[in-house]
Structure 1
Amino acid sequence: MAGNDKRRGATRKPGTKKGMVVGSGGQRRRGLRGKGPTPKAQDRVPHPAKKRADAKAKAEQQRAKRKAQSETTPELIAGRNPVVECLRAGVPATGLYVAQGLDIDDRVKEAVRVAGDKGIAVVDVPRTEVDRMTGGALHQGVALQVPPYRYAHPEDVLQAARDSGLPPLVVALDGVTDPRNLGAVIRSAAAFGAHGVVVPQRRSAGMSAVAWRSSAGAAAKLPVARAVNLTRTLKDFQAEGLMVVGLDADSDITSDELELATGPLVVVVGSEGRGLSRLVRDTCDQTVSVPMIGEVESLNASVAAGIVLSEVARRRRQG
């Protein structure tokens, strides 16, 4: 009879009754926790943006590693003329490598003699070893080992100018990445009476063996300073009374009209292709161009720097 059946039927097991659950306070149902906001594209592993970000970070690490190695690894200056000129200039060399069986001329004899007089070790090595050490550069059988370059501080350059008793003349490079241009600018700066060269710490050529070679030893006589921020350094120079003149092909004022040449001066040279960066150009007190007769759009950075520095030196000689 219905209602008298003793069978348990569909009954719940003890402890499975719906209702309040310990810890919920009986106010809400148990639910899944959210995973939070969606990560940015560069943080999601399978996303292409993540791969690009990782590749960029890896490239930055490799650049930093190469920079650290270049600052601690000796450089090798190759070639007979560059080696002799560096030795004459008093470059702080640590070793002179001469290929065995070399056809010795007056330059090699002078290099060996000067190195011996200065206490620099002269080592005879197989020519294949010189090839390996110089990375296949045109060494003509001789290579000079120099320690990593010790950069000056921009304030040191300004102090050297003050100590000279002459109006300060400083050359600054903006975005010049070719070490041959850097070396050539240093050589021109030394030839025309500049007191130092300033290069940015980033996106700029450094004092490598190629720069040493192009400077023909002038870097041993003229301080080269590194600026963490070139624009800020130029403003510091302005605060000390120096006028900043930038080389700009679009300027209506030519170097022949540079009336600021006889006073305290900073000449800023940009790269051949890009020229001066916007911030640096805005910082300049004046921009000048190099007068040209032909239909050449621009000059090599080191050539343009040499022309302007020559004009500055001419005006200063005339008083």
Structure 2
Amino acid sequence: MTGTSRKNIRQRYEKERRRNLLASPGIHEMIIVLDHLKSGYNIPKIFRSAEAFGAHAVHLVGIEIFDPAPAKGSFRKVPARFHDHFGTCHAALTEQDYHLFVLDPSAATPLHKAKLPPRSAFIFGHEEFGQSFECSAYPGLQSLSIPQFGAVESLNVSVAASIVMYEYVRHQMLSGSNG
């Protein structure tokens, strides 16, 4: 990437981040937590899905500048909360009585069998390195997996986040909680 491209992305990001201050929470209390994801296309694509599925907010942990263009305007519509470390994100969400779920391909509990309360927060780690924290340091975190039947060990993070958001909304609609 050239210096001019980086400068353009930075300018676009700063402009959209200012607009994000006016974003309103979606109709669902679901929160998406992105923990140290690469700043490529996955983050804006997750914002796009978060807007489509009515997410309350997206919390970004250890994530700075990313190109908001692939979000197709969704970055300005879904509130973003920024954290330097997972600990501050965890504290904020637990203070608001959220149930926190970590997505892990090896987790024993499949997403479709989990009880998903209205105040659910779903944590997605770096595609290569996973979460930036030890799950054992945060009691109460529940691990979930998305059932897969092929040889690939995991899904692309933006695809996984979209599946989780869809399942959350489906679960809430069936239970009559939201939507």
Q: TM-score range by the shorter chain?
A: 0.7 to 0.9
Identify the residue that residue 194 of structure 1 maps to in structure 2: 55
Whether contact under 8 Å (2:19, 2:76) holds in the other structure is no
Deviations 1:144-171 (A, max 9, x none): xx82522868xx99xx55xx7x652111
Whether contact under 8 Å (1:192, 1:309) holds in the other structure is yes
Aligned-partner residue type, residue 238 of structure 1: T
Q: Distance in 1 between matches of 2:64 and 2:146?
A: 23
Identify the residue that residue 94 of structure 2 maps to in structure 1: 238
Q: Measure how far apart 1:205 and its partner are.
A: 4.7
Task: Give 1 or 2 for the bigger CA radius of gyration.
Answer: 1
Deviations 1:256-291 (A, max 9, x none): 1120x2321111111111112233564252010111
Aligned-partner residue type, residue 159 of structure 2: V
The percentage of counterpart residues that share the same residue type is 24
Distance 1:229-1:151 versus aligned 2 partners, 3 A rule: farther
Identify the residue that residue 177 of structure 1 maps to in structure 2: 38
Q: Measure how far apart 1:235 and its partner are.
A: 2.1
RMSD: 3.0
Q: Distance in 2 between matches of 1:217 and 1:281?
A: 37
3-state DSSP of counterpart to 1:249: coil
Match of residue 272, structure 1, among 117, 122, 127:
127
Distance 1:188-1:281 versus aligned 2 partners, 3 A rule: farther
Size of the aligned set, in residue pairs, is 170
Identify the residue that residue 17 of structure 2 maps to in structure 1: 149
Whether contact under 8 Å (1:190, 1:222) holds in the other structure is yes
Identify the residue that residue 11 of structure 2 maps to in structure 1: 74
Q: Distance in 2 between matches of 1:151 and 1:248?
A: 33
Aligned-partner residue type, residue 181 of structure 1: N
Distance 1:267-1:304 versus aligned 2 partners, 3 A rule: same
Whether contact under 8 Å (2:101, 2:141) holds in the other structure is yes
Q: Measure how far apart 1:190 and its partner are.
A: 1.0
Aligned-partner residue type, residue 214 of structure 1: P
Distance 1:220-1:281 versus aligned 2 partners, 3 A rule: farther
TM-score (norm 1): 0.47
3-state DSSP of counterpart to 2:58: strand
Q: Measure how far apart 1:250 and its partner are.
A: 1.5
TM-score (norm 2): 0.81
Match of residue 161, structure 2, among 305, 310, 318:
305
